[in-house]
Amino acid sequence: MDKACVGQVAVIFVSIRTGEDDAGYQAAAAAMAALAAEQPGYCGMASTRASDGMGITVSYWADEAAAAAWRDNPTHMAVREAGRDRWYSAYTLDVARISRHYDWTKNDRSARQ
């Protein structure tokens, strides 16, 4: 996440995959990540998926208007419909304002004496 977006909008997408058409899903997910990154107000994305099919993707947007424009993007809308038809058995989506942001990285202690 770009720190300039602190105080802005996070779209939290939690999904359960059907397991159907994995190659199609992977291609669509990569295309949507690339398309989202081109949208005005895009600030970043983080995503993970467990072996049981549950996934979480959080996309970060400069403001509510940018997040809504992504929601309304015609290509994204078509892929969302494909997801409902083939790739997801369920999902939830939450939109939240970011009030704080912290980063932490574990130091390499092997270099310490």
- Structure confidence at residue 105 (pLDDT): 86
Ranges under pLDDT 70 in the chain: 1-6, 108-113
pLDDT at position 108 is: 63
Instruction: Give residues with Cβ within 8 angstroms of 68, minimum separation 6.
Output: none
Q: What is the pTM of this model?
A: 0.85
List the domains of the chain with CATH numbers. 3-100 (3.30.70.100)
Q: What is the pLDDT of residue 113?
A: 47
Q: How far apart are CA 36 and CA 43, in angstroms?
A: 9
As a whole number of angstroms, the distance between CA 82 and CA 51 comes to 22
